[in-house]
Amino acid sequence: MPSCESSDGSALHYDDVRRKGSDGDECPVILLAGGAARHPSYLGDLAGLSDRHRLIVPHLRGVGRTAAPDQEELGSFWSQADDIEHLRVHLGLDRVVLVAHSAGTRLAIAYAAQFALRVARLVLITPPAAYLVDEPSDAHTLSEKRRGDLVFEAAFAALEAGPQTVDDVGFNAWQQESAPAGYSTWGATERSHATVGRWSLPATKAYFSVAPPRDLTVRLGQVLAPVLVIAGAEDCLTGLAPVTALARLFPTGECVVIEGSGHYPWVEQPAASVASNSVV
Residue 58 lies in a domain: yes
Q: What pLDDT, on the 0 to 100 scale, is given for residue 164?
A: 85
Find, among 21, 7, 33, the residue nearest to 88 by Cα. Answer: 7
Taking 90 as the threshold, does the pLDDT of residue 150 lie above it? yes
Mean local confidence (pLDDT), 229-240: 98
Residue 254 lies in a domain: yes
Residue 147 lies in a domain: no
Q: What pLDDT, on the 0 to 100 scale, is given for residue 280?
A: 66
Task: With cut-offs at 50, 70 and 90, classify the pLDDT of residue 278.
Answer: low
For residue 93, what are the CA distances in angstroms to 21, 100, 103, 179, 233?
21, 18, 24, 37, 35
Taking 60 as the threshold, does the pLDDT of residue 23 lie above it? no
Taking 90 as the threshold, does the pLDDT of residue 19 lie above it? no
Q: What pLDDT, on the 0 to 100 scale, is given for residue 226?
A: 98
Mean local confidence (pLDDT), 164-172: 91
Would you say 35 and 199 are in contact if contact means Cβ atoms under 8 Å apart?
yes
Q: What pLDDT, on the 0 to 100 scale, is given for residue 181?
A: 98
Mean local confidence (pLDDT), 173-194: 98
Residue 237 lies in a domain: yes
When comparing pLDDT for 279 and 215, which is higher? 215
Residue 73 lies in a domain: yes
Taking 80 as the threshold, does the pLDDT of residue 187 lie above it? yes
Q: Percentage of the chain surpassing pLDDT 70?
A: 96
Mean local confidence (pLDDT), 93-101: 98
Q: What pLDDT, on the 0 to 100 scale, is given for residue 239?
A: 97
Residue 172 lies in a domain: no
SS3 category, 43: helix
CATH, residue 223? 3.40.50.1820
Is the bond leading into 67 cis (omega within 30 degrees of zero)? no
Mean local confidence (pLDDT), 164-175: 93
Q: What pLDDT, on the 0 to 100 scale, is given for residue 221?
A: 97
- CA 132/CA 48 separation, integer angstroms: 30
Residue 94 CB neighbours (<10 A): 8
Tell me the per-residue pLDDT of 51-89, one tens digit each, with 9 for 90 and over: 999 999 999 999 999 999 999 999 999 999 999 999 999
Would you say 262 and 236 are in contact if contact means Cβ atoms under 8 Å apart?
yes
Residue 53 lies in a domain: yes
Residue 216 lies in a domain: yes
Q: What pLDDT, on the 0 to 100 scale, is given for residue 59?
A: 98
What is the identity of the amino acid at 232?
Answer: G
What H or E segment, with its residue span, contains residue 241? helix 241-247
Q: Is the dihedral of CA 146, 148, 154, 156 positive or negative?
A: positive
Tell me the per-residue pLDDT of 210-226, one tens digit each, with 9 for 90 and over: 999 999 999 999 999 99
Q: What pLDDT, on the 0 to 100 scale, is given for residue 3?
A: 97
Task: With cut-offs at 50, 70 and 90, classify the pLDDT of residue 157.
Answer: very high
Domain boundaries, position 85: 3-138+207-277
Taking 60 as the threshold, does the pLDDT of residue 24 lie above it? no
Strands 11-17 and 55-58: antiparallel
Task: With cut-offs at 50, 70 and 90, classify the pLDDT of residue 26.
Answer: low
Q: What pLDDT, on the 0 to 100 scale, is given for residue 165?
A: 80
Q: Point out the least confidently predicted range of 19-28, 127-136, 262-271.
A: 19-28
Q: What pLDDT, on the 0 to 100 scale, is given for residue 274?
A: 82
- CA 130/CA 115 separation, integer angstroms: 23
Looking at the 3D structure of the chain, how many domains does it have? 1
- Read off the pTM: 0.96
